[in-house]
Structure 1
């Protein structure tokens, strides 16, 4: 095998390690578990309630906390169950940040399914864990399991030294 061919194969393997066209990659996210049963606390500059469709729209510096999980966004639509005042879904838009323990994620939009304990992040998703950074087209955070699944074109930088 020629030296050029060995170099090209080595180069290709090195590049692949930093920018994998992977359909999904798994990673841990946060250190709290089983948070979906905890109360959801919401703060915002404004609240608009729609009794007919069972929704509420929080806008202006929205801050949501549930256990160790913190979510912030300019606008959050809250969907209540038809038969109760229980929150079933939060849809955040306009630039979203989710922090859970030492980990953080940013995206354009987030859809939080309270009962499933999952947050779907879409649009320029960036996940940071210490010095490690991963980006993808979409990320599903499982807050109860403390895991995340990154899908689409996944790009990552992993620090090997502390």
Structure 2
């Protein structure tokens, strides 16, 4: 694979995938940062990149950091699937992202952490799972083990483990506009 094609895959992978994020005013804001400003460059750092033409995928591994403006995704492994349609690598459409290994998504004062996250770009749904999925905004914290976010509407659903409950901690005076 040529260097130009790799650069095209990188650009299209991160821009197309991350521009599908929602614009809401809730805990799901941490997922909305990427792609919300197409004037901001997207930077990806990883120890390794493997592009697999036959499976239409690219895998970033080893201390992966994706940033755009104030939004940041940190994980150990990020696999990107694209459908292969379109003319050239830059035009390829992203179908799915899979992040694994201590996934952390943050923007401004909001952070979401879990063990794994998948972004289905066709359905515009993000699912984060783990022993503990923790959402925080400033001093406020919500904990469960499976978070599903509709990236189009911003609707978030946090589920508790089968043997537990969802936990919420809201600090007095921390919620503005109430």
Partners of 2:149 and 2:156 within 8 A in 1: yes
Q: Name the counterpart of 2:23.
A: none
1:90 is matched with: 97
Q: Is 1:141 matched up with 2:140?
A: no
Instruction: Give, in whole Å, the separation in 1 of the partners of 2:145 and 2:51.
Output: 32
Where does residue 75 of structure 1 map in the other structure? Answer: 77
Instruction: Tell me which residue corresponds to 2:14.
Output: none
Report the number of matched residues. Answer: 136
**TM-score, reference length from structure 1:** 0.69
Match of 1:150 in 2: 158
| Structure 2 alignment gaps of length 5 or more | 1-25, 87-91
Aligned-pair Cα RMSD in Å: 2.8
Higher CA-based Rg: 1
Name structure 1 gaps, 5 residues minimum: 1-26
Residue 28 of structure 1, CA deviation: 3.8
Identify the structure with bigger relative contact order (alpha carbons < 8 Å, sequence gap 6+): 1
What is aligned with 2:56?
A: 54
Aligned residue for 1:110?
117
Deviation of 1:50 (Å): 1.1
8 Å contact kept, 1:35–1:117: no
TM-score of the pair, normalised by structure 2: 0.64
Q: 1:35 to 1:144 in 2, by over 3 A?
A: farther
Q: Residue 88 of structure 1: CA displacement?
A: 2.1
Tell me the distance in 2 between the aligned counterparts of 1:118 and 1:87: 13
Report the counterpart of residue 65 of structure 2 in structure 1.
Answer: 63
